[in-house]
Structure 1
Amino acid sequence: MKRVNLFSVIPLMLITGSAVIAGGADNIQDVDDRIATVEGLSGPEAVHWDAEQEIWFVSNFNGDAAGDANGFVSKIASDGEILEREFMIGTDGHPLHGPRGMRIDGERLWVADAEGLHAFDRRSGAHLEFIDFSAFEPGFLNDVEIGPEGAIYLTDTGNARLFRIVDGEISVVADEGLVSPPNGVVWDAGHEALMLAPWGGGRTLIGYRPGQDDLIDGETLPAGGNMDGLEAWQGGLLIASQHDQAIWFVRDGEAEILIRTPGRPADIGLDASGRRLAVPYIALDRVDIWELPDRP
């Protein structure tokens, strides 16, 4: 597989000792700037917005993410009210163990889980399909995205792989060349690539180009690490960084911190307006919602 160095990064950050200042500390939001908080959850790992229904879906580990068969997906109103806590639970044959990344494709909500991918009816919550990954001995299946060609992509953070699923057929499209295990994944039109958030010590985003079947180096954060969720926003990318408990924004080689979170941010969700960002914390059993500022 080819690997391309797309561009060098010019960080906007000023780093002094252990202090990090991005575009002026006064511009960074914190816990006092939240517009809503969703409590009463159980190990929330990911948030995804349904634009037609104007609701949030929140995946909950609810215990052991590897295999205790009691995970669920919650249905949350746009203002943070819990409409149905256990809206999607799977079936006896294919229960949700520790649901994580989600993505809407038509009328389906695809949900990554310990042993594979579940599809649910996004309106009724009914279980529709399960794609079994056990033959691939997955390490930690994590986040889902729909590529521009309609294929489903799924990251394996445990074994540093990116899968592609077409008509139920699974293939590995990236493993060698992934310096850090991929966590979050999102399609980014600016890079014309699926951008992957590095987990572990890496701070450089990696992109996979489906049409060219190659990897590219994206932006590098000047600080942070253990990146989780990604969202495309205002021509750049929002990044959840667990190492420094921050939401970063990178665009055109520049990086800044938008939010200092009170816990380790997991797989973030962005509403259709691009103004409200939902941040889940597994350890806090909570999701916080912020209103994002405009970026020229």
Structure 2
Amino acid sequence: MMRLNLIMLLTVLLVSCTTKETKTDQIAWKTVQDSTDIFFTIAGLDGPEAVRYEPEQNVYFISNFTGGGNTQDSTGFITKADAKGNILNLKFMTGTAEAPLHAPRGMFIVENTLWAADVLGVHGFDKSTGEQTGFIDFTEFEIGFLNDVTANSEGTLFVTDTGTNRVFIVEDNTPSIYLDSLPEAPNGITLNPDNGQFVLAPWGGDQIFRTFNASGDLDEYATLEGGYFDGIEFLQSNLLAASQQDSSIRYFDGTKSRILIKTTGRPADIGINTNLNHIAVPYIALDRVDIWNLSKK
């Protein structure tokens, strides 16, 4: 009986160690990757600004900036592509005549709805049909540049405004100012899965990433080299950040940071294929999205 218990104990320890290693060792690269390591490319786009992976359908949604900026030209659209890079529908989401897409950027999915930040507000789309199901109008505010959108565990939306140094909250389909006069212009925003707090990526030359909790209290999260940070995403406990200043994807594991990828252009709002550990990197100026395999040895 003692020998049997010892064998069972060793088996549990072995499984525990293996599970722990699998959970934390998601990024396998030991050297900086470059264009020679691109897994595949999604081309034929029109100023792709952001990518959002949808695991249930195993597809990428790509927001196309088209003319860019805050121009109200009704030319924006969101593309649907499969996980192998094939475009399934170039203009899968376009909005309505009353609330068209102009220059969509950051996106986030809550249940069956894909939310996309745009010039005048945030659009909601059925992720399966592409039909616009809602529009949250921000024009009662002095809008600077609505940029990225995410949500907490209850599905409450948070939207960054890079032009006014603000973060908005959307409750009952009504926006209001949640954080004002931030020390850095916020670009990307994401939720930290370890503590349920939000992390903000600084635009401009700033390098301080700040975090805030449900009470809106700000704190410093990390300082990364680079600058003009755009999209940020967590891969388990690792923060991935797109730096346009030096065309790189960096990651921060909680204690140290380094360059993961030297991109071929200025990276915008990145997306993570959580099923395969792929990272999708869009370039507005190059009209394409490059995919790297984060699990590559």
TM-score (norm 2): 0.87
Say if 1:180 and 1:201, in contact at 8 Å, map to a contact too.
no
Q: Identify the match of residue 56 of structure 2 among 49, 52, 55.
A: 52
Output the amino acid matched with 1:165: V
Say if 2:80 and 2:87, in contact at 8 Å, map to a contact too.
yes
CA distance in 2, matches of 1:273, 1:154: 26
Q: Assess, with a 3 A threshold, how the Cα gap between structure 1 residues 189 and 234 changes in structure 2: closer, same or farther.
A: closer
* Equivalent in the alignment of 1:175: 180
**Larger % of strand: which?**
1
**Larger % of helix: which?**
2
Q: Identify the match of residue 42 of structure 1 among 40, 46, 54.
A: 46
Tell me how far 1:38 sits from its aligned partner: 0.7
Whether 1:111 aligns to 2:113 is: no
Say if 1:162 and 1:174, in contact at 8 Å, map to a contact too.
yes
- Equivalences for 1:184-203 in 2 at 5 Å? 184-203=188-207
Tell me how far 1:208 sits from its aligned partner: 1.5
Q: Identify the match of residue 123 of structure 1 among 109, 128, 136.
A: 128
Identity of aligned residues (%): 45
> Which segments of structure 1 move beyond 4 Å, counting only runs of 4 or more?
none
- Equivalences for 1:126-137 in 2 at 5 Å? 126-137=131-142
- Equivalences for 1:123-272 in 2 at 5 Å? 123-176=128-181, 178-210=182-214, 212-221=215-224, 223-272=225-274
Say if 2:269 and 2:282, in contact at 8 Å, map to a contact too.
yes
Say if 1:206 and 1:217, in contact at 8 Å, map to a contact too.
yes
Output the amino acid matched with 1:254: K
Kindly indicate whether structure 1 or structure 2 has the higher relative contact order, using CA contacts under 8 Å at least 6 residues apart. 1
CA distance in 2, matches of 1:86, 1:273: 25
Say if 2:47 and 2:68, in contact at 8 Å, map to a contact too.
no
Encode CA deviations 1:5-46: one digit per residue, 9 max, x unaligned: xxxxxxxxxxxxxxxxxxxx9700001101110110000000
Q: Assess, with a 3 A threshold, how the Cα gap between structure 1 residues 263 and 234 changes in structure 2: closer, same or farther.
A: same
> Cα RMSD over matched residues?
1.5
Rg: which structure is higher? Answer: 2
Structure 1 spans left out of the alignment, 5+ residues: 1-24
Tell me how far 1:191 sits from its aligned partner: 4.5
Whether 1:101 aligns to 2:106 is: yes
Output the amino acid matched with 1:200: G
Encode CA deviations 1:61-120: one digit per residue, 9 max, x unaligned: 111432111100000110111111000000111000000000011110001000000000
Output the amino acid matched with 2:190: V
Structure 2 spans left out of the alignment, 5+ residues: 1-28
Say if 1:233 and 1:274, in contact at 8 Å, map to a contact too.
no
Q: Assess, with a 3 A threshold, how the Cα gap between structure 1 residues 26 and 150 changes in structure 2: closer, same or farther.
A: closer
Tell me how far 1:138 sits from its aligned partner: 0.8
Secondary structure, aligned partner of 2:140: helix
Say if 1:206 and 1:218, in contact at 8 Å, map to a contact too.
yes
Say if 2:228 and 2:243, in contact at 8 Å, map to a contact too.
yes
